[in-house]
A and B are shown apart, each in its own frame.
Chain A
Amino acid sequence: GEDVEQSLFLSVREGDSSVINCTYTDSSSTYLYWYKQEPGAGLQLLTYIFSNMDMKQDQRLTVLLNKKDKHLSLRIADTQTGDSAIYFCAENTNDYKLSFGAGTTVTVRA
């Protein structure tokens, strides 16, 4: 969606950290999400962050939220080949709807 922007591609070496960035526009969003889509599959929720938090850590995943700049990032530590996928940032714009970014294709090279 046009309200959420992400870079389209990221290439990272196996074992390095990946950082995927996202900017959003709706300052009233309560939750922000990261979804993962593997080839030929639907989207799967990776993690989410509540808008009153700055950071959330979940194993290899770290989400950082800068509400002032409306900037969200996802860091994947020790990136593995199984992390190759498309990653979507999303915000809830109202009670029924999520607005998705275009997705960042992450390629992990050996």
Chain B
Amino acid sequence: NAGVTQTPKFRVLKTGQSMTLLCAQDMNHEYMYWYRQDPGMGLRLIHYSVGEGTTAKGEVPDGYNVSRLKKQNFLLGLESAAPSQTSVYFCASTRTGGKETQYFGPGTRLLVL
């Protein structure tokens, strides 16, 4: 099993550009999450999904959109990138929800100029 993988590993964007981050998991997990990690602030939940075809907002959803068309994939989109979105983005998945261990991907470093 590859676990949770993220694509790309690193990206530089100009302000106003768009991009999509891909998260894939091969563990048949129902729940998937997107977090951003900023220095001194820990992980903040952007969006999450409790199953294929469903998504919901987390703590910091503004400026991001997500889709879960297939159970194994969770996409995070930035329609018009801003410097404030410079961060490290982590995807995670879990079998049934908050009480279960979350498995994390290796992260995507995004720099918005």
Q: Which residues of A contact B (CB under 8 A)?
A: 1, 4, 8, 30-31, 33, 40-45, 48, 88, 92-98, 100-103
Residues of B within 8 A of A101 (CB): 42
For the complex with contacts A45-B101, A96-B98, A98-B102, 16 further pairs of A-B residues with Cβ separation under 8 Å are A40-B107, A41-B106, A42-B4, A42-B90, A42-B92, A42-B107, A43-B92, A43-B104, A88-B42, A94-B98, A96-B56, A97-B45, A100-B42, A101-B42, A102-B40, A102-B42
Number of A-B contacts (CB under 8 A): 57
Q: Given A8-B40, A100-B42, verify A45-B99 contact (CB < 8 Å).
A: no
In the complex, A44 Cα to B48 Cα: how many Å? 19
The answer, yes or no, to whether B50 is at the interface (CB within 8 Å) is yes
Are B104's CB and A100's CB within 8 A?
A: no
Q: Which residues of B contact A (CB under 8 A)?
A: 4, 31, 40-45, 48, 50, 56, 58-59, 90, 92, 97-99, 101-102, 104-107
In the complex, A28 Cα to B104 Cα: how many Å? 25
In the complex, A12 Cα to B86 Cα: how many Å? 32
Question: Nearest CB to that of B38 among chain A residues?
Answer: A102
| A-B CB proximity, top 3 nearest | A42-B104, A92-B98, A102-B42
In the complex, A44 Cα to B99 Cα: how many Å? 15
